[in-house]
């Protein structure tokens, strides 16, 4: 019963404030060049895309934080339980962590290709 009540309150809070609705998740770069065959120009262009993508992830996570904080500020502290607050925090943390994990994964794959490109240039 507590879970149903908490879920109802959280849904009502989100519905009233469009929490996280304005945060735009950035699209990762379309393609990671193969470091073994790519030209310097292709690697530099990809690097620019990854810089922009990582800046987009930063903007997205900053937006999540702002909207989370606004949702907390709008909530009536006399009606919000610790469990409801914990659920709001959990949703924020999950969305934030998922974005950071995705960015880390794709960036690591690009960095592998950068290392391959540098190794190719030393041969």
Q: At residue 17, does pLDDT exceed 90?
A: no
Each residue's pLDDT tens digit, 37-84: 999 999 999 999 999 999 999 999 999 999 999 988 888 878 888 898
Contact 28, 53 (CB under 8 A): yes
Residues in contact with 110: Cβ distance below 8 Å, sequence separation at least 6, in sequence order: 29, 32, 46, 47, 50
* Number of folded domains that form the chain: 1
In this predicted structure, what is the pLDDT of residue 122? 65
Closest CA to 65 of 47, 30, 89, 29: 89
Quick count: other Cβ atoms within 10 Å of Cβ 92? 20
Domain of residue 21 covers 2-122
Structure confidence at residue 7 (pLDDT): 40
Mean pLDDT throughout 78-103? Answer: 93
Confidence band, pLDDT 50/70/90 cuts, at residue 20: low
Q: Could you tell me what percent of the chain has a pLDDT over 70? A: 81
How far, in whole angstroms, is CA 107 from its chain's centroid?
A: 13
Q: What is the mean pLDDT of the chain?
A: 85
pLDDT for the residue numbered 22 = 86
Q: How far is CA 16 from CA 20, 64, 67, in A?
A: 12, 16, 12
């Amino acid at each position: 019963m507590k879970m149903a009540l908490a879920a109802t309150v959280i849904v009502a809070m989100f519905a009233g404030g469009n929490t996280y609705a304005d945060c735009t998740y950035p699209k990762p770069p379309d393609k990671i060049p193969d470091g073994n065959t790519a030209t310097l120009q292709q690697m530099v262009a990809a690097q620019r895309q990854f810089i922009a993508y990582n800046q987009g992830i930063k903007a997205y996570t900053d937006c999540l934080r702002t909207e989370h904080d606004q949702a907390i500020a709008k909530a009536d502290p006399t009606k919000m339980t610790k469990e409801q607050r914990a659920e709001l925090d959990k949703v924020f943390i999950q969305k934030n962590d998922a974005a950071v994990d995705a960015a880390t994964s794709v960036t690591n794959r690009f960095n592998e290709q950068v290392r391959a490109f540098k190794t190719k240039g030393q041969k």
